Amino acid sequence: MKMAREGLPFVGTGLGLALLAWVGAQFFPLLIYAAWLFGVLGLFMVFFFRDPDRTPPEGDDLVLSAADGKIVSIAKIECDEHLEGAAIQVSTFLSPLDVHVNRNPLSGVIEFVKWHRGHFHAAFVAAASTENEQSIIAIRHGETRILVKQIVGILARRIVCNLNAGDAVIKGEKFGLIRFGSRVDLILPAHTQLRVKVGDRVRAGETIIGAIDDVQGNTS
């Protein structure tokens, strides 16, 4: 099983403590329970930071899911400050059991990456989209701009984003992750033809969220 490199310290810590507790159990037998506990924790970290291969579908106008999880909200936005016009917000909630590696939803060029400090509401509530700590990534594809928001939750307190302004990105490639349960929002032009609905399960880099018409794209 492939694993994201960001998980190596967590796996190493868990298994290292398990080994120390196992050695200590030779002198203090009750430590065997700690050895089992740390061992299970280390193995869960391997599972949590798993990084399965994904094959994106063909189609330049297709917007893919940036995260694994469940669609918890699809909302119309009257005026998004970054798109400077009407938009559609598609929100995906990641439970601790989902793959947490994030992938580019669309090929293009990174216009900016912003960091917004905020609260740590539960990631599945609506307020998380605007009030929680998050990174905001703008991708320019031709005349169209879309946004990706990596949003922390109650448990998720660490966002990893490996993108910088000016980077050329390819749809389906990895760009970061969020640790231990989180939320990822896609902010799309209002004319996007959606192919998902609330309650759908999605996979990063594979599930088609919608199709954009580049001719009508946002030119802000």
169, 190 Cβ separation under 8 angstroms: no
99: nearest Cα among 157, 179, 154? 179
Phi, psi of 160 (to 5 degrees): -115, 120
87, 80 Cβ separation under 8 angstroms: yes
Q: Which two tokens stand for residue 116?
A: 């917004």
Spatial distance between the Cα atoms of 40 and 71, rounded to a whole number of angstroms: 30
Beta strands in 20-132 (DSSP E): 62-64, 69-80, 85-94, 101-103, 108-116
- Whether 182 sits among the annotated catalytic residues: the reply is yes
One of 65, 129, 135, 182 is an active-site residue; which one? 182
86: nearest Cα among 94, 96, 95, 76? 76
Amino acid at site 213 = D
The set of catalytic residues is 182
